[in-house]
Amino acid sequence: MAEAGVSMDSIREKVVEAEERIRKAAGLEELKAIATEYLGKNGALTSLLRTVGSLPPEERPKFGQAVNEAKRSLEVLVAARETELLEVERRRAEERERVDLTMPGRAFRTGIAHPITQTEDRIKAAMIGLGFEFFEGPELEEMKYNFEALNYPPDHPAMDDQDTFYIDDHRLMRTQCTAIQGRVFEAKKPPLRVFTVGRCFRNETVDRTHGHTFHQVDAFMVDRGVNMAHLKGTLKAFATAMFGEGTQVRFRPDYFPFVEPGVDYSISCPFCSGNGCAVCKSSGWIELGGAGLIHPNILRSYGIDTEEWTGWAFGLGVERIPMMQYQIDDLRLFYENDYRFLEQFRA
């Protein structure tokens, strides 16, 4: 009898201990481990059943029944605690996924057009506004369009391979956008008002003011009775569209193989209205590019009668414009794609 009493006590002890632990189980994993520890195949209560043989035969059914009842009551307790814990987890998940409609929105970091692209877009708008047609030529160009068609003598220093990226004996990366002229003369008949904006390439040592890749605008017009006054008038209208009302244009004689006469042209400084400042180096003028009347040799080589038709052409570097406008003194900034630099051109 004493032995049976101890055994019945041992059931109660295990039950009290298990109940306590089940109630305190903080998660489903822990609960499962506790259930296995007491109710599993080798669990504490199951093991008690194996001691039944040591009891007097008349005690055995009562003991077995007590163990089974203890197991059932613990199983009910485990199931109840499991339901509670599932509910806690569900609430936590709900809290995590809850959408707070009062939170401020997260801004999308959208891209912006590159400052060179923005400038090209303004140039296109200005030239199309002046009645010019956009024409695009290839960057990988035939030598004849880049030089011969533009009246370059065969020994001109610009053709030196120190300045030019030659691809093979008759192709190169175009060194100037003026290379579209020959292509346009082959494809179209005058009267013509054509412009292009695009990339050019020269074998230059890269520094603050030189790049091996840069952009140019090139425009030309061929019509009856076209002269330098038309060129100056068009440049003034273009400069006004780009830099504002009142911009003046000044010509100074210069030489380019494809124009006769040739000039370099400057605009009155838009930052000091010609009074002198750091951008124009106190001169009141900013040199922009080259221009002139299209050389009659070029027109004649494309079968255009120079008694009837004359033309002008002008070109300028695209990078010059934002460098001037934003007082950027290093050309390389445009090609490094540093977001901190580019972001400043967000409109």
In 231-272, DSSP assigns E strands to 249-254, 259-268
Report in angstroms how near the CB of residue 280 gets to Zn ion at its nearest: 3
Residue 273 or residue 301: which is nearer to Zn ion going by CB?
A: 273
Report in angstroms how near the CB of residue 266 gets to Zn ion at its nearest: 11
| Of 214, 219, 320, residue with least CA distance to 266 | 320
Q: Decide if 262 contacts 150 (C-beta within 8 A).
A: no
Residue 190 or residue 289: which is nearer to Zn ion going by CB?
A: 289
Residue type, 172: L
Interface map 214-253 toward Zn ion (x if CB under 5 A)? ----------------------------------------
Token pair of 249, please? 């244009």
Report in angstroms how near the CB of residue 248 gets to Zn ion at its nearest: 12
> How far is 38 from 18, CA to CA, in rounded Å?
7
Token pair of 253, please? 């004689």
Using DSSP's 3-state secondary structure scheme, residue 263 falls into: strand
Interface map 136-175 toward Zn ion (x if CB under 5 A)? ----------------------------------------
The residue at minimum Cβ distance from Zn ion is 269
Report in angstroms how near the CB of residue 316 gets to Zn ion at its nearest: 18
Using DSSP's 3-state secondary structure scheme, residue 253 falls into: strand
Report in angstroms how near the CB of residue 143 gets to Zn ion at its nearest: 40
Residue 158 or residue 279: which is nearer to Zn ion going by CB?
A: 279
Interface map 260-299 toward Zn ion (x if CB under 5 A)? ---------x-xx----x-xx-------------------
Report in angstroms how near the CB of residue 235 gets to Zn ion at its nearest: 19
Token pair of 176, please? 């100037």
Residue 117 or residue 273: which is nearer to Zn ion going by CB?
A: 273
Q: How far is CA 327 from CA 142, 239, 264, 271, in A?
A: 36, 18, 22, 10
> How far is 305 from 301, CA to CA, in rounded Å?
10
Q: Site size for Zn ion, by CB under 5 A?
A: 6
Number of other residues whose CB lies within 10 A of the CB of residue 46: 14
**Host H or E run for residue 294:** strand 285-294
Strands 192-201 and 133-134: parallel
Residue 31 or residue 280: which is nearer to Zn ion going by CB?
A: 280
Q: Please tell me whether residue 304 binds Zn ion under the rule CB under 5 A.
A: no
Token pair of 1, please? 């009898």
Report in angstroms how near the CB of residue 270 gets to Zn ion at its nearest: 8
Residue 51 or residue 283: which is nearer to Zn ion going by CB?
A: 283
Residue 94 or residue 329: which is nearer to Zn ion going by CB?
A: 329
227 by Cβ neighbours in 10 Å (0-12 / 13-18 / 19+) ranks as exposed
Report in angstroms how near the CB of residue 291 gets to Zn ion at its nearest: 21
Residues forming the site for Zn ion (CB under 5 A): 269, 271-272, 277, 279-280
